[in-house]
Structure 1
Amino acid sequence: MTRTIYDAVGGMPALVSLAHAWHERVLADPVVSHAFSHGYHPDHTERLAAYWAEALGGPPAVTTSVASESEVVRMHSGNGPHQEMDARAVECFERAVEDAGLSGDADVRDALVAYFTWATGYMGTYHGSADQVPDGLTVPRWSWDGLVDGTDSRPSQHTE
C-alpha cells in the first residue's frame, strides 16, 4: 500500500502547523487578507487542517462532523474571479510549507503545493453565485499523482 500524503507530512499535527502558518501569512497579506475581512470561525485553522487531511488521504473529519463539501464550496463561491488573490494565496502557502518545516522532502513539498494550487482553482469554480453549487459534492482526493480519478464531483461542463 502506498503511503498517503497525509501520512508523509506527519498527519494532523503537521497539517495544523501548516494551516496556522498559512493563516498567519494570508492575514498579513494586503490582498489575500480581504477574504477574511468579514471574520472567520475561531477554529478556522483546525478546520482547514482537517479539510486538507481529508483531501490528502487522512480521516474524513470535516465532512462527517463540520460541513458537507457543498457547504464548504458555497462558502468560497459567488465572489467573482480573483486571480491575483488566488496567486497570492498560493505564494503564502508555499512560504507556509517552509514555515511549518515541511519543505525538506521535495516530493512532499511539491505534492502539497500542487494540491493547494489545484484546490484554489477548484474552490473558485462557482464565481457567479453560491446558489449555483449543487448538493452532494464530495471532497476531491489528492494523491502523489494528482487528483484521484472520480473524486471531483463538479459538473464537467461547468463554464462559469
Structure 2
Amino acid sequence: MQSVYEAVGGDDGLRRLAHAWHERVLADEVVSHAFSHGFHPEHTERLAAYWAEALGGPATYSEVYGDESLVVRMHSGNGPHEEMDRRAIACFDQALTDLGLTDDDRVRSVLYDYFAWATTVSMAQYTGSADDVPAGLPIPRWSWDGLVTD
C-alpha cells in the first residue's frame, strides 16, 4: 500500500499543495494576519518538506530544518485563535480542490483530517508562551488510519 505522501504526488505534489495553500491564506483577510510580520522566503518549500515527513515521506525537514519543537514554537504564544484556525483549514480544503485532490475521497479525507488535527491540536497546544514547548519533539506521523503512535 502506498503512503499518503506517495498518493499526494510525493515532494512535487506537496510543493504544489503548499503553494496553493499559501496563496489562499495570503488572500484571506483573517489568516493573512499570521504572515503580516513576514515569512521565510522558502516557506512553501519548508512547509512541503514538513508535510512530506509527516505523511510518510523522507525525513528532510528534520534533517535540514529542525524538529517539531521548532515548528510548534513558531505557532505558539499567540493566545487562542479559533477563527483563524477554521479559516486556515478552509483555505487548505480549497487548495485541495484547486489541485484536484478532491477527486479521490480517501486522499482528500486523510489530508483534510491531518491538516485539521495539526492546526487545532498539534500547533494549538501552547497558546500562552512558545517557551512552554518542550525540546526535542519528533514530527508526528500521519497515515491512512490517522495519527501514528508507537
Gapped regions of structure 1 (runs ≥ 5) = 151-160
Partners of 2:19 and 2:98 lie apart in 1 by 10
1:62 Cα offset (Å): 0.6
The answer to whether 1:134 aligns with 2:141 is no
The answer to whether 1:46 aligns with 2:45 is yes
The aligned amino acid for 2:149 is: D
User: Runs of at least 4 residues of structure 1 off by over 4 A?
Assistant: none
1:129-153 superposed Cα distances (whole Å, 9 cap, x missing partner)? 0000000100000011110013xxx
Q: How many residues align?
A: 149
1:64-103 superposed Cα distances (whole Å, 9 cap, x missing partner)? 1012211111111000000000000000000001112211
The aligned amino acid for 2:87 is: R
Partners of 1:74 and 1:41 lie apart in 2 by 15
Partner of 1:67: 66
Q: Please state whether the residue corresponding to 2:86 is helix, strand or coil.
A: helix
Partners of 1:45 and 1:103 lie apart in 2 by 21
Q: Please state whether the residue corresponding to 2:87 is helix, strand or coil.
A: helix
Q: Normalising by structure 1, what TM-score?
A: 0.91
The answer to whether 1:103 aligns with 2:108 is no
Partner of 1:123: 123
| Percent identity of paired positions between Structure 1 and Structure 2 | 65
Q: Please state whether the residue corresponding to 2:119 is helix, strand or coil.
A: helix
1:124 Cα offset (Å): 1.1
Q: Normalising by structure 2, what TM-score?
A: 0.97
Partners of 2:33 and 2:129 lie apart in 1 by 18
The 5 Å alignment of 1:22-41 reads 22-41=21-40
